[in-house]
Copies of this chain bind each other. A is one copy, B any other.
Amino acid sequence: MDMRKRRILKAIVDEYIQNAEPVGSKSLVDRHNMDISPATLRHEMAALEEMGYLEQPHTSAGRIPTPRGYRLYVDELMQRHRLSQQEMLAVNDTMRLRIQELDKLISEAGRLVAGMTRYATVAASPHVGVSRLQKVELFPAEPSALVIVVVLEGGVVKNKWLRLAALPSAQTITRLTASINTVFSGQTAISFYDVERCIAMTGEGSELLHPILEFLSDVFKGTEHREVFLSGESHLLSQPEYRDVLKARRTLEYLSEQRHSLSLLPLDKPDGVKIMIGPENAATELSDASVILASFPISDGQSGLIGVVGPTRMDYSKLASHLTYIAARLGRLLQHEEEESP
């Protein structure tokens, strides 16, 4: 594949990304002041089509890139978009969000990206996989309620509000906490044997164990899948490829229903950006959409994901660099909070 073909392909993809219209030989020559004639260009375009990088929506229309064309484009042709000083400043500024729960932070980051890129955005909490219990804490909170706080290794904190007929004594609470922590610290699930042991160890008040351990079990189960937050759905609708409501609905439906088990998420390269173009997506529902994902480290090896979803015709270059920057910033924010401001 010679140099000229590459330049032409790049020009076509760039053009199509901008205008969303099949690009023809004449208009391309005009706009990109190339030094060849439309006829020559047509030859080359026919060749590129032959090779599978371009296609025609119908005879006698311009060419549009195939997924394979986009692939070559993102891998080799596109020039890396660099964030301007201004853009970086804007990110940093907005990023100074008040961090609270991890989940909140992540969903908020998704919203931020949606706002900045004007694309539909997915953000996912870490896939904790099996996560060890670090600590359980109980404390009375109201005349007749107990708050259970569960901390897992890696930063996940869950709590539950437990209403009771009567509040147990301080002593009982201490004993409960102690026995639960002794038995389950470092565990990754609740076994029948451990429950027995815990009941025995607790003695009086052990009837309270039931709801607490049930909650603990839910927490363990909950960490098995990542939680996925969606935002900026409306931006999908502003893309011309989703002018057809039915298509838009299908995509949106898929995104919001498969939220839980989004299988698109395996990200191998630890820190890189992953781009999935059209049919490269595992899900057939997304076979005419593209997904760009970036991961950000949260703590010891676990990482969250943030990315955008849109039509295959998307501004890969700009989005990739935006996502990289934001993910990096997010990772830094999460790992060394104390040194937050420069």
A222 at the interface (CB under 8 A from B): yes
- Which residues A81-106 have CB closer than 8 A to chain B? 98-102
Given contacts A134-B141, A137-B137, A137-B139, contact A234 B215 (CB under 8 A): no
Min distance, Cβ A255 to any Cβ of chain B, angstroms = 8
CA distance A112 to B51 in the complex (A): 49
Name which of A98, A153, A336 has the most chain B CB atoms within 10 A of its CB: A98
The one of B139, B158, B163 that contacts A100, using a Cβ cutoff of 8 Å: B158
Nearest B residue to A237 via CB reads B249
The answer to whether A161 and B157 have CB atoms under 8 Å apart is yes
Contact assessment for B245 and A233 in the assembled complex, using a CB-CB cutoff below 8 Å = no
Judged by a CB distance under 8 angstroms, whether A190 is at the interface is no
With A134-B141, A137-B139 known as contacts, the answer to whether A160 contacts B242 (CB < 8 A) is no
Complex alpha-carbon distance, A161 and B135, angstroms = 13
A130 to chain B, nearest CB (A): 17
In the complex, residue of chain B having the shortest beta-carbon distance to the beta carbon of A250: B234
Expressed in whole angstroms, the Cα–Cα distance for A238 and B232 within the complex equals 19
A248 at the B interface (CB under 8 A): yes
Please tell me how many copies of the chain the complex holds: 2
Q: Is A8 an interface residue (CB 8 A)?
A: no
Choose one: B142, B219, B249, B338; the contact of A234 (CB below 8 Å). Answer: B249
A2 sits at the interface (CB 8 A): no
Which B residues touch A328, using CB under 8 A? none
| Contact yes or no, A100 B160, CB < 8 A | yes
Partner of A233, one of B98, B145, B211, B252: B252
Question: Is A243 on the interface with B (CB-CB < 8 A)?
Answer: yes
Interface readout for A98-125 with B: 1 if CB under 8 Å, 0 if not? 1111100000000000000000000000
Residues in chain B near residue A141, CB distance under 8 A:
134-135, 151
Residues of B within 8 A of A256 (CB): 231-234
The answer, yes or no, to whether A218 is at the interface (CB within 8 Å) is yes
CA distance in complex: A180, B99 (Å): 20
Contact of A245 among B137, B151, B243, B336 (CB under 8 A): B243
Whether a CB of chain B sits under 8 angstroms from the CB of A162 is yes
CB of A155 within 8 A of CB of B161, answer yes
Q: Is the CB of B149 within 8 A of A159?
A: yes
242-269 of chain A: CB within 8 A of chain B: 242-243, 245, 248-249, 252-253, 256
16 contacts between A and B (CB under 8 A): A98-B218, A101-B101, A101-B158, A137-B149, A149-B149, A149-B159, A159-B159, A163-B336, A163-B337, A231-B256, A233-B256, A234-B252, A234-B256, A237-B248, A237-B249, A237-B252
